Amino acid sequence: MSPDLLAATGLLGLAGSAGGAVVGLRFRIPVVAGTTVAACACGLVTAGGVLSGGGPVTLEVGGIMPLSGFSLSLDPLGALFTAVTAVIGICAVIFSLGYHGPGLAGRPASTALPLFVTSMLLVPAASSVTTFLVLWELMALSSLILVLSDQRRRAEVQRAGEWYAAMTQAGAAAILLALVLLAGHAGGQSFAALAGHGPGMASWVRNGAFLLALVGFGSKAGMVPLHVWLPRAHPEAPGPVSALMSAAMVNLGIYGIIRVGDGLLGGGPEWWWLTVMGLGAISALFGALHSTTSTDLKRLLAYSTTDNMGLVLLGVGASGIFADTGHRALALIALVAALLHVVFHAVFKGSLFLAAASLEQGGGSRRLDDLGGLLRRMPVTGTVFLVGSLAISALPPLCGFVSEWLLLQAMLHGLPTGDVAVAVAMPLGVAVLALTGGLTAATFVKAVGIGLLGQPRSRGAVDASEVPAAMWAPSGVLALGCLALGVAPVTLVPAVLRAARVVTPAGVGDPLRHGWRLGLAGSRGVLDPVLLGLGLVAAVAVAAGARRLVQRGPVRRTAAWGCGREAQTSRMEYTATSFAEPLVRVFDDVVRPNRHLDVSHTSESRYYVESIEYHSSLDDDAFERRGYLPALAALRRWGDLARRAQNGSVHRYLAFGLVALLVVLVVVG
């Protein structure tokens, strides 16, 4: 396939960005949206060609950047990520046409949006260290501008931006060190050279590069404990941007770990992958717990991104362990499961974030306790959110179930391999998967049940109305994708298999059954999503028919039982906080909410209570409170000390010079 379309992707992105900077307000949005969608379409076609077996697409442009040139090469692994980004990009950009939220029409945001989308499309295609780093940094900076779109009006946005900037730059620095370390020892900076020399390098180089890459890419993927920016930045960004960040950008963190660990370094010792699995397990549990307790819809979704990336890391880690212990087929299956989950997560999280932005626009708030009753008022958006929620809870026949099933199968079949680490890691992996599954179900029943069902909890929710088609259509397409991919994963599995083969040991036959049924070759059981879906639909239809048969007269609308009270107000409903309270209590030691109880008594007697105030908040998590805030405070103390040392007095500087000279003399002597 010719590289023209890949070049077109980049050029369209640059043109869109220039258009966003130059064109006046009236035509700015159509120009930006049009070029960005076109860039995504070019990327999608290129990636589709590569994924359907067309061979890698390579593009070398000398002279753009000094010394190195610009080199892109899209192989199936990269193409999978490019394709996902392209689909999410198209949906999010079309969505932004109807979105009235903050600041997207402004000049900075219009300039940044095409750059952000295009750099995400091209990062997986980068095939040299400099190209990769330039695109990566472009993605980080443009997304930072987009996160800050609304910073004039709300102080939280600025704080979120600070966290994001610090974490993303620290991550980029770690990636830079890792890649430079590799490039230095490989004697070249193209990925081909790195991959050629990577497996033979000294073990300290390999270990160092892998750990640095894990830190850098892991922070982008929202891996605990480097996740702190994610639940701040994703909710504060404008709706379509949160969808892009949560459904497309975090994937690139996973891509980086796979590319460096499996690709450039050619796999590694077991302890690398046990680390990845461990961090994945902690991320999954931690993200799931915090999304269970969140009452802000977008924050809940952001924490659930950490959760899902944790599950993906479980798969990536399992794949690495299998590859290291020589179980090639299992390594391939585990990686396919992880990559499938990346794709599915993008689809359902994209639809959920877009639907959440619609709910915020329609219902006037993104706090769950201000919403309610929206399924009746915003039927399409509500249904989209419901479908996305069922998919993320891994319920059949939607897509989340397929990838979790495959991951469970990989872990199950890896068990009897006789390796102690595997024997310990795999059951724990299954337990983590199961616990996060249960917590996710609870979380999204809360999100749907409190946010969309019941009585409206605020004026805004009472007056809510459906959003324009430009907004519900893209999220609806993604929700349909959840259903289609859940019933027919066969459409995706060959492409994912091709992507996974790029970085797993060669010489494996076909480890998966082909066709509509998904199963492991050589194992009796299969998953038949079509049959499952048809069976469910048929059984529901039969039950509905039976109910129809016995029904006499129309359904009567009645008042709900209120223990004898006539009126049921929305203040009597369960809130998001009360819904999660039992779970918070069960997991109190992990979650550790901030609780304040103030009881004031009447002046006459201590036995009579005048008022009770109870606050419980989970705004900062344990890692932040225990790790980051003390570290930041220590940094600030050191900064203060350093400032005290520099008071501008000439005498003091002369003294410093003398002391330094003496120290040098002592050391040299």
Partner 1 sequence: MSGPWPAATQLAVSTLQVGGVLVGGPLLLGLTRKVKARLEGRTGPPVRQPWRDLRKLAGRERTRPEQASWIFPLAPLVLVATALVVAAGAPLVAVNPAFGTSADLFAVVYLLLLGSVALALAGLDTGTAFGGMGASRALTIGAVAEPALLVAVLALSIPARSSNLPAIVSSSLAHPIWLASPQRLLALGAFLIVVLAENGRLPVDNPGTHLELTMIHEAMVLEYAGPDLALVTLGESARLVVLLGLLANLFAPWGIATRPGAATLAVGAVTVVAKVGALGVGLAVFEVFMAKLRLFRVPELLSGAFVLAVLAVVVALVVP
The binder of partner 1 chosen from 453, 470, 480, 508 (CB under 8 A): 453
In the complex, least distance from residue 531 CB atom to partner 1, rounded to whole angstroms: 6
**Do residues 113 and 141 make contact, with C-beta atoms less than 8 angstroms apart?**
no
CA 633 to CA 93: how far, in whole Å? 40
- List the x/- string, 65-104, binding to partner 1 by CB under 8 A: ----------------------------------------
The binder of partner 1 chosen from 521, 586, 609, 660 (CB under 8 A): 586
Query: Which of these ranges, 65-73, 412-420, 615-623, 632-640, lies near partner 1 under the rule CB under 8 A?
Result: 412-420
Tokens of 298: 């977008």
Cβ closest to partner 1, residue 8 vs residue 527:
527
Helix (H, G, I), strand (E, B) or coil at 126: strand
The binder of partner 1 chosen from 373, 476, 481, 486 (CB under 8 A): 373
Unique residue bearing structure tokens 């109870």: 614
515 scored as a contact of partner 1 (CB under 8 A): no
Cβ closest to partner 1, residue 143 vs residue 389:
389
Tokens of 388: 């996305």
572 scored as a contact of partner 1 (CB under 8 A): yes
Cβ closest to partner 1, residue 557 vs residue 643:
557
Angle at CA of residue 496, ends 494 and 497, nearest 5°: 60
The binder of partner 1 chosen from 63, 155, 507, 557 (CB under 8 A): 557
User: How many residues belong to the site for partner 1 (CB under 8 A)?
Assistant: 85
Task: Report which residue type is found at 124.
Answer: P
The binder of partner 1 chosen from 317, 372, 481, 505 (CB under 8 A): 372
Query: Which of these ranges, 77-85, 121-129, 544-552, 626-634, lies near partner 1 under the rule CB under 8 A?
Result: 544-552
Task: Report which residue type is found at 353.
Answer: F
596 scored as a contact of partner 1 (CB under 8 A): no
Cβ closest to partner 1, residue 195 vs residue 518:
518
**Do residues 409 and 549 make contact, with C-beta atoms less than 8 angstroms apart?**
no
CA 319 to CA 313: how far, in whole Å? 10
| Preceding amide of 225 cis, omega within 30 | yes
Query: Which residues have a Cβ under 8 Å from the Cβ of 29 and sit 6 or more positions away?
Result: 96, 97, 105, 110
**Do residues 181 and 209 make contact, with C-beta atoms less than 8 angstroms apart?**
yes
**Do residues 47 and 86 make contact, with C-beta atoms less than 8 angstroms apart?**
yes
574 scored as a contact of partner 1 (CB under 8 A): yes
The binder of partner 1 chosen from 468, 535, 630, 657 (CB under 8 A): 535
521 scored as a contact of partner 1 (CB under 8 A): no
For CA atoms 38, 39, 41, 46, the dihedral sign is positive
Query: Which of these ranges, 44-52, 127-135, 173-181, 428-436, lies near partner 1 under the rule CB under 8 A?
Result: 428-436
Return the bridge partners of 609, or none: 601
**E runs forming strands in 459-524:** 518-519
305-324 residues near partner 1, rule: CB under 8 A: none
Cβ closest to partner 1, residue 81 vs residue 579:
579
528 scored as a contact of partner 1 (CB under 8 A): yes
Cβ closest to partner 1, residue 185 vs residue 517:
517
Instruction: Give the H or E element holding residue 611.
Output: strand 609-617
421 scored as a contact of partner 1 (CB under 8 A): no
